[in-house]
Amino acid sequence: MMGGQLSLFDELFGGSGNKELPSLEEINNLIDQGAIFYISHSAGKDSQAMYAVLKNIVPHDQIVVVHADLGDVEWPGVQDHIKKYTEHEVHIVKANKTFLQMVEDRGKWPSASYRQCTSDLKRGPIFKFIRNDLKRRKATIAVNCVGIRAQESASRGKKDPFSYNKLESCSDRVIRHVYNWYPLFYFSTDEVFDTIRTAGQEPFWAYKKNERLSCVFCIMGCVNDLRHGAEQNPDLYRRYVELEKKIGHTMFMKGSKPIPLEDHVGIKVSA
């Protein structure tokens, strides 16, 4: 590896002094033990770059790509985008409820401190798939690979980029060892986009205006991303606005006061 590639390799395996990262030897030991590397792919820039990197490190038959389908609240075309740039089969998992159903039943939107959307619609279905897939393969080691980066937020920066998942592991009748790995933890945003383009790929089209990609109207999204979502998905935007009024709870606050989505985004829904 030369130049920028060497720098990115250091970011993956602690060569830049980040001791909490796994060493290349540790990853190779897991590979030798038959670990299956489950790559969570949302079509976002981080998961796309993560896959582009890991497919050159992990043997092809030890990679499994998983996408948590969020239904009509995810950007149209994300699954086609994933499949276009993925050499592996893309396994689609889905919760038994939709995001808007979940909000209506609870009578509240998720928040930064209560991200039920992540736990119920993404993490839950993905780990259920991992457990079943390990059993089918008669494998005992899973590495859950997620495109979380320290630069994204202060709370994410405090996470451990490589850890043993005690909750998903077990050693009773069923032996299962699960690790969480955030391979791009110390990548900058520029390095992520550079990785995608070096692989001869393009990021998802919404990045022409969006800073991040998740649900079209994510509680963590900035006003710019939300406005772009409303412009591109007016019918879905109307459903969010109407649901706010129906349950009497808003997605966002302005200081200590609730602010309707229409006011927050700056686009009114016509009657």
Q: What is the residue-level pLDDT of the chain in tens, covering all 271 positions?
A: 333 455 677 788 866 566 688 988 999 999 999 999 999 999 999 999 999 999 999 999 999 999 999 999 999 999 999 999 999 999 999 999 999 999 999 999 998 887 888 889 999 999 999 999 999 999 999 999 999 999 888 888 889 999 999 999 998 778 999 999 999 999 999 999 999 999 999 999 999 999 999 899 999 999 999 999 999 999 999 999 999 999 999 999 998 999 999 999 999 998 6
Q: Which distant-in-sequence residues (6+ apart) come within 8 Å of 228 by Cβ?
A: 206, 209, 210
Are the C-beta atoms of residues 143 and 32 closer than 8 Å to each other?
no
pLDDT, position 157: 86
The CA–CA distances, whole Å, from 147 to 133, 153, 257 equal: 21, 13, 33
In the chain, domain spans? 3-206, 208-265
Evaluate whether the domain defined by 3-206 bears CATH number 3.40.50.620.
Answer: yes
Amino acid at the residue 61: D
Residue 111's alpha-carbon distances to 98, 115, 116, 146, 252, in angstroms, are: 17, 6, 8, 21, 9
pLDDT at 155: 85
pLDDT of residue 15: 62
Assessment of whether the complete model's pTM goes beyond 0.85: yes
Q: Is 144 helix (H, G, I), strand (E, B) or coil?
A: strand
